[in-house]
Structure 1
Amino acid sequence: MTLTILVPTRGRPANLARLWRAFLDTCEFETKLVALVDNDDPELAGYQALADRLQDEPMFQMGIGPRLRLGPTLNQAAPKWATRSDAVGFMGDDHLPRTVGWDGRYLAELERLGTGLVYGNDLIQQAALPTQVAMSSDIIRETGHMVPEGAIHLWLDNAWLALGQALDAITYLPDVVVEHLHPIAGRAEWDAGYAEANADAVSDADRQVFEQWREHELPRWVQQIKEAPRG
């Protein structure tokens, strides 16, 4: 099985370089890191310099495009990668895999589930929310989405949890650590990106999108996934 991790990132090329080093140190398979960068990023030169250094690395790829925000960026990129990988996942540029072989553990669990989602211990939310996640690609292929349409940044992890529970196919691996270096836990400094993403207006809007999706769209997603032909 193959796994692609999508990493939307803005203003933090050093974080992306740190995450790439962690992939090299911890991945068991040739798990691909796909960085998704905005073409108006003030740190675009830093990202391009990193991509130039890694141009011969088969596990690293960078896409640069118009700024869409986190949720729409995932929904744009995920369907393409779902046709190229057995599983597609998400990490933020402030996540850091700590457990050697984490990708193998994810893939083994997804193979066992057949269709489903898996997440590790981020040392903040732990079992409560999949702040990083991997899912079997058929979920994305059948629904056309990785997250509810219209969600900007927050409540995406709530949606992944709700989907996994509705499918009865989500696994938390407490001994697989993918640390979330977030300022809420004192593990990073608040910057413009965190301030924008955690603004009350964004949170309120994303919560409304999540609640509407859970009531009206989630049952359709589950039906599409479960009724899809196998093999």
Structure 2
Amino acid sequence: MNLTILVPTRGRPANLARLWQAFVATCDMPTRLVALVDNDDPELAAYQALADELHDEPYFRMGIGPRLRLGPTLNEVAPKWAQRCGAVGFMGDDHLPRTVGWDGRYLEELEKLGTGLAYGNDLIQGQAIPTQVAMTSDIILATRCMVPPGMTHLWLDNAWLALGNALGAISYLPDVIVEHLHPIAGRAQWDAGYQECNTDALSSADRAVFEAWQESELPAWVQQIREYER
């Protein structure tokens, strides 16, 4: 099994460069980082320069496309990568793996589960919710989604936790540190991206979609995943 981590990013090319350097320092498997960049990003030139700089890196890829926001971007891209590898994950451009071999640990847990999800300790939420996650590709291939459709940005981690619990197949690795450098913990500045995403209106809207999905769609997802033949 191999792992691809999707990293939607906007306005933070320096964060993406920092994350790639953390991959270089901590990955012990051929884990691919796929950066997903909006074609209207004000920092697009800097992202393209980084992609040019890393052109010869076999495990770095960058995709540039129309802005869809976080949830729709994952649902657009994840099924394509799920066809190519055994596991697909998510990190934000403000996550930073600290534990050497974190990717191997994720894959080890996923191999044990057969079908399921795994996540590490982000030093903010810990076990409470998976702000970063890896999942076996059959989950995505069975549902054609990585997150419930209609969710923009928030409550995605709650959906991953609910799905893992419903499957009875989610592993939390407390000693695998993937730090979340978020302003809520004083580890980043409240830039335009954070301000746009962290509003009461968006939280309420995403929560409503999550709760409706959990009530009416989650059982069908579990059935689809369990019946999927890899």
SS in 2 for 1:4: strand
Q: Which residue of 1 aligns with 2:186?
A: 186
What is the CA–CA distance in structure 2 between the aligned matches of 1:149 and 1:21, rounded to whole Å?
32
State the one-letter code of the partner of 2:148. P
Deviation digits for residues 121-177 of structure 1 (CA, Å, limit 9, x no counterpart): 000000000000000000000000000000000000000000000000000000000
What is the CA–CA distance in structure 2 between the aligned matches of 1:198 and 1:38, rounded to whole Å?
19
Task: State yes or no: 1:113 paired with 2:113.
Answer: yes
Deviation digits for residues 24-52 of structure 1 (CA, Å, limit 9, x no counterpart): 00000110000000000000011000000
Task: State yes or no: 1:214 paired with 2:221.
Answer: no
SS in 2 for 1:220: helix
What is the CA–CA distance in structure 1 between the aligned matches of 2:76 and 2:173, rounded to whole Å?
28
TM-score by length of 2: 0.99
| Identical-residue share of aligned pairs (%) | 78
Q: Which residue of 2 aligns with 1:92?
A: 92
Which ranges of structure 1 fall in alignment gaps of 5 or more residues?
none
Q: Which residue of 1 aligns with 2:53?
A: 53
The alpha carbon displacement at 1:182 in A equals 0.1
Where do 1:59-78 residues align within 5 Å? 59-78=59-78
Task: State yes or no: 1:15 paired with 2:5.
Answer: no
What is the CA–CA distance in structure 2 between the aligned matches of 1:229 and 1:35, rounded to whole Å?
29
State the one-letter code of the partner of 1:206. D
The alpha carbon displacement at 1:206 in A equals 0.3
**Matched residue pairs, number?**
230
Q: Which residue of 2 aligns with 1:134?
A: 134
The alpha carbon displacement at 1:227 in A equals 1.4
State the one-letter code of the partner of 1:121. N
State the one-letter code of the partner of 2:158. N
TM-score by length of 1: 0.99
What is the CA–CA distance in structure 2 between the aligned matches of 1:153 and 1:31, rounded to whole Å?
25
Task: State yes or no: 1:27 paired with 2:27.
Answer: yes
When the two chains are superposed, the root-mean-square deviation of aligned CA atoms in Å is 0.5
Deviation digits for residues 193-215 of structure 1 (CA, Å, limit 9, x no counterpart): 00001111111100001001001
What is the CA–CA distance in structure 2 between the aligned matches of 1:95 and 1:47, rounded to whole Å?
18
Deviation digits for residues 52-106 of structure 1 (CA, Å, limit 9, x no counterpart): 0001111100000000000000000000000011000000000000000000000
SS in 1 for 2:177: strand
What is the CA–CA distance in structure 2 between the aligned matches of 1:82 and 1:65, rounded to whole Å?
19
Q: Which residue of 2 aligns with 1:150?
A: 150
Which ranges of structure 2 fall in alignment gaps of 5 or more residues?
none
What is the CA–CA distance in structure 1 between the aligned matches of 2:31 and 2:208, rounded to whole Å?
34
The alpha carbon displacement at 1:229 in A equals 2.4
Q: Which residue of 1 aligns with 2:200?
A: 200
SS in 2 for 1:171: strand
